[in-house]
């Protein structure tokens, strides 16, 4: 019986080269490297084999399917969020910036429009659930239903040992990192469920895996990861995807940093400190805001249609989540 089954499979997939590359070569214990160079290349299949192996639905180019999508990005006036907004706009999305910093939000909108893209902004405190609900209702009326939410607002104080951190910071870390993810998700999710369509990408941090000098910030970023996975599990059946991007250290470029940036609070790194940080990164280079934007856009895109509940460290390998 077994021989007959094998024979029928072979009959469906004629491959003249198969006989020249017997599986027994591997099973016998000799390594693939030991195969003489004169042997035929097992990857040189004939056309019949290629047709069988290739997915007939596969397209030559990756299609992100973001054109005309309505994309909300919180904290998009500055640094990482700004790069995310610019990148979505470059993909043809209709970007809405939600930020407290009006001047820098308007600058980002202008930069997008100057480049031929579409963007608007709304000044709103994303920790205020009531204000968020009103703003989202306005956006849906004026721009259209929300296809993508990027939870990017976050805040970090100066790094330090747990016992040296003022307990007042615990609450601030929660209010500016995890609470906005709750308020924004609560505001957009019901309509996404009703439309059976939506992608949420939340920006956490490599510190969320546990790191020195970042205890309270890392703890709430771990909360962002956990919450995002819960949303992925609970709402995946409605075609809602929820994923997480964890940036490594992204030092803002001067023109990309807004007045509302937490980088204005005395957080800075000397050349020497940057060298020490780079030496701890396998790729010996820190990520840029654009690197984080690329990963975020990918997670939100149609190319990631089967990805949900995933956590991606964008850090040159500083963290390698399993
Ligand atoms: N920059 C990094 O090295 C780094 C590393 C890991 C993770 N992250 C995370 O990436 C995200 C972006 O970081 P960044 O460096 O671009 O920050 P940033 O401080 O430069 O920008 C944050 C933006 O959020 C806005 N904002 C702050 N509070 C707000 C509120 N209540 N309502 C609306 N808008 C508000 C600010 O005005 C600012 O424009 C954050 O979640 C941060 O925790 C950053």
271-289: per-residue pLDDT in tens?
999 999 999 999 999 999 9
DSSP-derived letter for residue 41 is P
Residues 173-187: what's their mean pLDDT? 98
245 lines ligand 1 (CB under 6 A): no
How many Å apart are CA 55 and CA 46, to the nearest integer?
16
- For ligand 1, is residue 73 a contact (CB within 6 Å)? no
Which residue among 260, 313, 314 is best mutated to probe the pocket of ligand 1, counting the most ligand atoms within 8 A of its Cβ? Answer: 260
Quick one: pLDDT at residue 304?
Answer: 98
CA distance 175 to 128: 10
Place of tokens 């709430």: 220
Q: Which residues contact 295 (CB under 8 A, 6 or more apart)?
A: 245, 312, 314
Name the pLDDT band for 265 (thresholds 50, 70, 90). Answer: confident
225 CA to centre of own chain:
12
Q: Cα separation of 166 and 118, whole Å?
A: 42
Res. 34 pLDDT band, cuts 50 70 90 = low
Kindly state the average pLDDT of the residues 152-179: 96
Q: Are strands 118-123 and 240-247 parallel, antiparallel or unpaired?
A: unpaired
* CATH hierarchy code of domain 70-250+265-314: 3.40.50.720
Coil/strand/helix, residue 211: coil
Measure the CA angle with vertex 107, ends 63 and 250; round to 5°.
65
DSSP 242: E
Residue nearest to atom 37 of ligand 1 (CA): 260
Lowest mean pLDDT among 27-36, 104-113, 163-172, 240-249: 27-36
Q: 247 CB less than 6 Å from ligand 1?
A: yes
Query: Considering the entire predicted model, what is its pTM?
Result: 0.86
More confident residue, 270 or 47: 270
> Would the CB of 203 count as within 6 Å of ligand 1?
yes
Q: What is the location of CATH 3.40.50.720 in the chain?
A: 70-250+265-314
Tens-place pLDDT, residues 197-237: 999 999 999 999 999 999 999 999 999 999 999 999 999 99
Confidence of residue 50 (pLDDT cuts 50, 70, 90): low
The rounded Å distance from CA 179 to ligand 1 centre is 13
Alpha-carbon distance of 288 to 124, in angstroms, equals 26
Closest CA to ligand 1's atom 24: 75
Q: What is the mean pLDDT of residues 125-131?
A: 98
Q: Which residue has the higher pLDDT, 37 or 155?
A: 155
pLDDT bracket for residue 254 (50, 70, 90): confident
Alpha helices in 196-244 (DSSP H): 215-235
Query: Average model confidence (pLDDT) for the chain?
Result: 88
How far apart, in Å, are the Cα atoms of 126 and each of 74, 224, 292? Answer: 8, 15, 21
Q: Kindly give the distance from the C-alpha atom of residue 258 to the centroid of ligand 1, in angstroms, as a whole number.
A: 10
State the Cα–Cα distance between residues 76 and 107, nearest whole angstrom.
Answer: 11
Query: What percentage of the chain exceeds 90 in pLDDT?
Result: 76
């Amino acid at each position: 019986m077994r021989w007959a089954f094998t024979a029928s499979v072979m009959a469906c997939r004629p491959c003249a080269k198969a006989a020249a590359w017997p599986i027994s070569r591997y099973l016998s214990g000799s390594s693939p490297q030991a195969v003489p160079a004169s042997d035929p290349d097992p990857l040189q299949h004939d056309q019949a084999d290629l047709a069988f192996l290739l997915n007939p639905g596969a397209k030559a180019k990756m299609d992100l399917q973001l054109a005309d999508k309505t994309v909300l990005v919180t904290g998009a006036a500055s640094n990482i969020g700004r790069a995310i907004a610019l990148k979505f706009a470059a993909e043809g999305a209709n970007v809405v910036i939600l930020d407290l910093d009006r001047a820098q939000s308007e600058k980002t909108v202008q930069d997008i429009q100057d480049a031929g893209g579409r963007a608007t902004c709304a000044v709103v405190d994303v920790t205020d659930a009531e204000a968020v609900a009103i703003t989202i209702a306005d956006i849906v009326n004026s721009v259209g239903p929300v296809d993508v939410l990027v939870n990017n607002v976050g805040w970090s104080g100066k790094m330090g040992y747990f016992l040296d951190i003022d307990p007042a910071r615990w609450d601030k870390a929660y209010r500016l990192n995890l609470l906005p993810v709750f308020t924004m998700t609560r505001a957009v999710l019901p309509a996404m469920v009703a439309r059976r369509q939506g992608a949420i990408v939340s920006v956490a941090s490599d510190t969320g895996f546990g790191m020195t000098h970042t205890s309270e910030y890392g703890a709430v970023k771990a909360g962002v990861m956990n919450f995002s996975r819960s949303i992925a599990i609970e709402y995946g059946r409605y075609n809602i995807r929820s994923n997480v991007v964890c940036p490594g250290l992204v030092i803002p470029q001067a023109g990309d940093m807004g007045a509302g940036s937490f980088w204005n609070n005395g957080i800075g790194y000397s050349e020497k400190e940057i060298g020490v940080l780079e030496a701890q990164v396998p790729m010996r280079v820190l990520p840029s805001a654009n690197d984080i934007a690329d990963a975020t856009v990918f997670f939100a895109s149609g190319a990631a249609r089967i990805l949900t509940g995933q956590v991606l460290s964008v850090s040159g390998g500083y963290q390698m989540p399993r």
